[in-house]
Amino acid sequence: MTPPRGPSRRHIALALPSALLAAGCAAPHRGTGRPGDPVVLTLLTHYASGALHRALQGPVDEWNATHDRVKVRTKAVEFTDLLTTFMVRQAAGQGADILHPYCLWNGQLVRAGVLRPAPPEHAERIRRDWGEAAVGAVTVDGTVYGYPTEAQTYALYYNRRLLREAGVDGPPATWPELEEAAYRTTRRDRYGNPLVQGFGLSANDDATTVGQTLALLHAAGGRFVTPDGRSTAIDSPAGRAVLALEHRLVARGASAPAVNVYQAFPSGRVAMVVGAGWWTGSLRPLMGGGYRDVGVAPVPVPAPGARPATLATGFMLGVNTASRHPREAWEFLRWLNADRVTAGNGTAATRMSALQVSVGSLTARADDMRALLGTGGDPNLRPFLDALDYAVPEPNGPGAARAKTLLRKNIEALWTGRRSVEEALRTTRRQVDQEVSRSW
Amino acid sequence: MVNVLTPQTPERAPGPAPAGPAGHGRRRARHRQTAVAYLFLAPALLFFAVFLLLPLGFALLLSVSHWTGFDLGAIDPVGPDNFGALFTGGSTFLVPVLTNTLLFALGTVALALTGSVVVATCVDRLRFQGLWRTLYFLPIVTTVVAVGNVWKYMYEPGGLANGVLNALGLGSVAFLQDPDTALPSVVAVQAWASLGSAILVLTAGLKSIPASYHEAAALDGAGPGTVFRCITLPLLRPSLLFVCVTQFLTGLQSFALITVMTRGGPGDATNVAALEMYRRAFDYGDWGTASAAAFVLFAVVLVVTLAQLWIFRRAGEDA
C-alpha cells in the first residue's frame, strides 16, 4: 500500500491561483464583524475636494454622531476616475456599499449587476417626491435604482452687453430669433478669427457637444432614443431641424466649434450658448463683476407658442448588489435624501437638497430648491429650476455612453462639413441602433 | 595585443557521470545549486508572472469573451466574435482608427527622424553641445498634459500658430478642428516632443564615428554633402535603426497626447487604437472588444517591427 503523500506540485499549482482569486474576489470585510460592533458602510463618490467634499462630510458626520450601530465612511475620487474606480473595486471584491454614479452609466451598471433595485417603499417614495426628469434618470427598464441627488438642466446663457451692442433687446425665445441674434452679434477679424461668436457650439467633449444638441432637440419636440432606450429616434423632422440649424450657424460663421466655449464665454467672446446649470457656480467667481452681464433664459423653441423642453442630466445614490448591509445602506440614503430638516434659511428641506444648494448646485427636488432659494439667490438659477418641470432625462440604457460618443462624432462630422445633415442622421441611426441593440 | 582568458580549472572530457557515491554527491550538489539559482531568480520570475504573464493570459481570455468589467464571475466566452466585431458591421476600427494609428506612427517617425538627424548634425558642430542637447531634451521631461494643452492653445483660432500665419498675410487655419489638418497637427507635436531622445541617441552615434574618416574624405576632395551621404549616414545606421524602431513603437501605442489635444476628434479624425481600446474598456464596459483590439494592435506592432528589422538587415545592419 502506498503511504499517503502530501499535496503534489500539480495540486499546489491549481490551488494557489484559486486561493488567490477567491481571496481577491471575496466580499469586503466591513467593520470588525464582532457582535455588537457597528456596521461600517462605505460610500464611493466624486465629491473629492473643496466645497463639495466638505458639504457631503457634514451630513455624514451628523449621521455617525447620531447612529451607534451603523457608521458611514466616505471614499472620494475625481469624477474622471469614478467609473474606472467602480469597475476596479467591484472586480476586486472591494466595491463600496453605496455608489454615487452619473446616471448616464446606470444601464451599464445595471447590466453588470452592480446596482441593486430600490426596495418598493423607497422606489415608491422616489417616484412620488421627485420630478419626472429626476425619476427617469434613476430608472432603467422601469426599475428605480437610487435616490436622485442633483439634476442639471440645460438653458440658454447669454451676454447682455454683447446682445445690447448688437441692437438685440433680449434673449431669443425662438430659433429664428436665435439665428438673427447670433448673426448680428458675430464678429471676426480680417483673417477670419472669431472675435465674438454669436452662438457657441463647442466640440470640447461628449457632454458639451451632445448636451447642447439634445437640449435643442428636446426643445424641438424630438428625442435621441425611444422611451424604452432600445432604438434611436433622432432621425426625425426635429432631429433634421436641429442639425440643420447647427450647420447653418457654423457655415455662416456665427459658431466656431474650434473655440472652447468654457473659456470664450467668460471672457466675453460668445454672445449665447446652451449650457447646464452647474456652470453658474463656475462663472460667478471666474467673471467677477462681469457676471452682471450674464443672463439665463429657457432654451429657445422652433416657433412661437411651442411647448418648452430641454435636457436633464443627473447623479444618484444607489446601493451595491455586493453590499452585505443593503437594509442599513437604504436607511442611510432615506435619511440623507428624504428626511426633511430645517435648513440654513429656516425652510424645511432634505439634507441632500441643502447640501446641493449650499454649493450652488441644483438639487433634484424642485420644491426644496424653490424653498431654499427663497426670494434671494442667483436669479440665473431660476430658469434651470423651472426647467426641472419639463426637462427630458438623458438616455441611460446599457449602451448610452457609447451612443453619446457616436452622436458626438456625427455632430462633429456635420460641423466640419464631412457629412450632410441627412448623412449625419442616417449614420447616427445606424451606428446607435447597432450599439443599443447589442447592449440590451 | 589580444587578451586571452585561460580557464582556471582543467576541462573535463564529456562522457557519462561517474557512478558511485562521488557521482551521486555531485548530482546532489548540482541540484542544490539549481535550487539556489531558482530561489534567487524567484522574485524576478514572480514579478514577470504577476505583471506580464497573468495580465497577458487574462487579456487573451477577455478577447474571446464578453465582460463588462465588474464581476469576474460574469466572463462569458463568445469565441472569435469580438475580433469579428472589430472588422465587420460598419465598425470604425479598421478605418479610420487603425489607419490613423499607422499614419500617426509613420508621420511621427518621419518627422522626428528627419528633424533629429538635422539637429544632431548641427549640434555636433556647435560649441556648448551639452546646453543644446539639454534644451532639445526639455520636452521629454515635461508632462504630456502640459505639452498637449500648450500646443492646443497655440493651434486655436487667434493662437500663436494662426498669429504667425496672419502676420505672414495668410488666413487662419482650424488646425485641430478640420479633419484634414487635425492628425498632421498632432503628429507635429508628437514628433517635436520626441525629438529630444532621438537627438541624444544620434549625437552619441555621431560621436562614435572616427574623425579620421571625415578627414580622409576631405583630403580626397569630398564635399560636406557627400561626406554626410556616404560616411555619416551609413555609419549612423545602428542609431537610426534604434530611433526608428522605438519611435514607431511609441507612435503605435500613443494615447495621452491625443486624449489631451483632441480626444480623438473631430469625429474620428484623430482616433487611434490605444484611445479606442481605453474608451471601449473603461468608458463603455466592453472589455471583450477592447482586449481583441489590443491583440490586433499587438500583431500590427509585431509585423511593423519585424518589417523594420528586415529592411535594415537587408541594408547590412544587424539589430
Nearest CA in chain A to B74: A112
Q: Give yes or no for B266 touching A (CB within 8 A).
A: yes
Strand-pairing partners, residue B66, are B76
Q: Do B162 and A193 touch (CB under 8 A)?
A: yes
Instruction: Write out pLDDT tens, residues B29-62.
Output: 899 999 999 999 999 999 988 999 999 999 999 9
**pTM of the full structure:** 0.82
pLDDT in tens, chain A (440 residues): 344 444 454 454 444 444 444 444 444 445 555 667 889 999 999 998 778 888 999 999 999 999 999 999 999 999 888 998 998 899 888 899 999 999 999 999 998 899 999 999 999 999 999 988 999 999 999 999 999 998 899 999 999 999 999 999 999 999 999 999 999 999 998 888 889 999 999 887 888 889 999 999 999 999 999 888 888 999 999 999 999 999 999 999 999 988 889 989 999 999 999 999 989 988 988 999 999 999 999 999 999 989 999 999 999 999 999 999 999 999 999 999 999 888 766 788 999 998 888 887 888 888 888 888 776 678 898 899 899 889 999 999 888 988 999 999 999 999 998 899 999 999 999 989 888 877 66
User: Chain A contact for B167, CB < 8 A?
Assistant: no
pLDDT at B8: 46
Please tell me which of the candidates B74, B158, B178 has its beta carbon nearest to residue A193: B158
Cell numbers given for B19: 557512478
Determine how β-strand A146-159 pairs with β-strand A294-297: antiparallel
Cα A398 to Cα A400: distance, rounded to the nearest angstrom: 6
Smallest Cα distance from B126 to chain A, Å: 40
pLDDT value of position A4: 46
Strand intervals (E) in B21-138: 65-66, 76-77
CB contact (8 A) between residue B157 and residue A21? no
Contact A401 B263 (CB under 8 A): no
Per the CB < 8 Å rule, is B157 touching A413?
Answer: no
Q: Do A112 and B89 touch (CB under 8 A)?
A: no
What local confidence, expressed as pLDDT, does residue B45 receive? 92
What's the rounded Cα separation, in Å, for the pair B208 and B156? 43
Q: Which residue of A106, A196, A409, A420 is the best one to mutate when testing the B interface, meaning the one whose CB has the most B CBs within 10 A?
A: A409
More confident residue, B5 or B61: B61
Instruction: Tell which residue, A100, A87, A436, A95, has the closest CA to residue B282.
Output: A87
Contacts of A408 in chain B (CB under 8 A): 265
Q: What is the nearest CA distance from A87 to chain B, expressed in angstroms? A: 5
Which residues of chain A have a CB within 8 Å of the CB of B178?
416
- The residue-averaged pLDDT of B185-206 equals 92
CB contact under 8 A, B166 and A257: no
CB pairs below 8 Å between A and B: how many? Answer: 99
User: Do residue A405 and residue B279 have CB atoms under 8 angstroms apart?
Assistant: yes
Mutant choice from B53, B62, B70, B164 vs A, greatest count of A C-beta within 10 A: B70
Q: In this complex, which of B72, B156, B177 lies closest to A25 when CB atoms are compared? A: B72
| Inter-helix orientation angle B99-123/B129-141, to 10° | 160
All cell numbers assigned to A283: 462663472
pLDDT band at B285 (very low <50, low <70, confident <90, very high): confident
Contact A276, A154 (CB under 8 A): yes
User: Average model confidence (pLDDT) for chain A?
Assistant: 88
CA–CA dist A98, A329 (Å, integer): 7
Residues A182 and A255 sit within 8 Å (Cβ to Cβ): yes
Cβ count near A141 (within 10 Å)? 16
> Do residue B158 and residue A194 have CB atoms under 8 angstroms apart?
yes
Q: Which residue of chain B is at minimal alpha-carbon distance from A434?
A: B89
Looking at residue A24, its pLDDT comes to 43
H helix count then E strand count, chain A: 18, 15
- Residue A45 Cα to chain centre, angstroms: 14
Nearest residue in chain A measured CA to CA from B264: A409
Residues of B in contact with A109 (CB under 8 A): 70
- pLDDT for residue B10 is more than 50: no
> CB distance B279–A256 less than 8 Å?
no
ipTM score of the complex? Answer: 0.78
pLDDT in tens, B290-306: 999 999 999 998 998 89
| Cα B38 to Cα A173, A356, B31, B32, B46, distances in angstroms | 78, 60, 11, 10, 11
The whole-number pLDDT of residue A80 equals: 85
Residues of chain A found within 8 Å of residue B268, distances taken between Cβ atoms: 409
Least confident of A375-379, B83-87, B194-198, B211-215: A375-379
Give the SS3 label for residue A61: helix
Residues forming beta bridges with residue A312, ordered by sequence position: A153, A393
What's the maximum distance between 2 C-alpha atoms anywhere in chain B?
95
Torsion sign, CA atoms B32, B37, B38, B40? positive
| B158 near A CB under 8 A | yes
CA distances (Å), origin A142, targets A18, A110, A123, A127, B160: 38, 12, 11, 11, 53
How far apart (Å, rounded) are the C-alpha atoms in residues B156 and A23?
51
Q: What share of chain A is helix, strand, coil (3-state, %, to 5)?
A: 50, 20, 35
Are residues B70 and A401, on separate chains, in Cβ contact within 8 Å? no
Q: What is the pLDDT of residue A296?
A: 97
Say whether B74 and A399 touch across the interface (CB within 8 A): no
Which among B68, B90, B176 has the least Cβ separation from residue A430? B90
Query: How is A291-335 classified by DSSP, letter by letter?
Result: GGGEEEEPPPBSSTTPPP-EEEEEEEEEEETT-S-HHHHHHHHHH
Q: Which residue on chain B is closest to A89 by alpha carbon?
A: B70
Residue at grid coordinates 471601449: B280
* Numbers of helices and strands, H then E, in chain B: 15, 2
Q: Which residues of A touch B177 (CB under 8 A)?
A: 203, 257-258, 416
Query: Dihedral sign, CA of A42, A48, A52, A57?
Result: positive
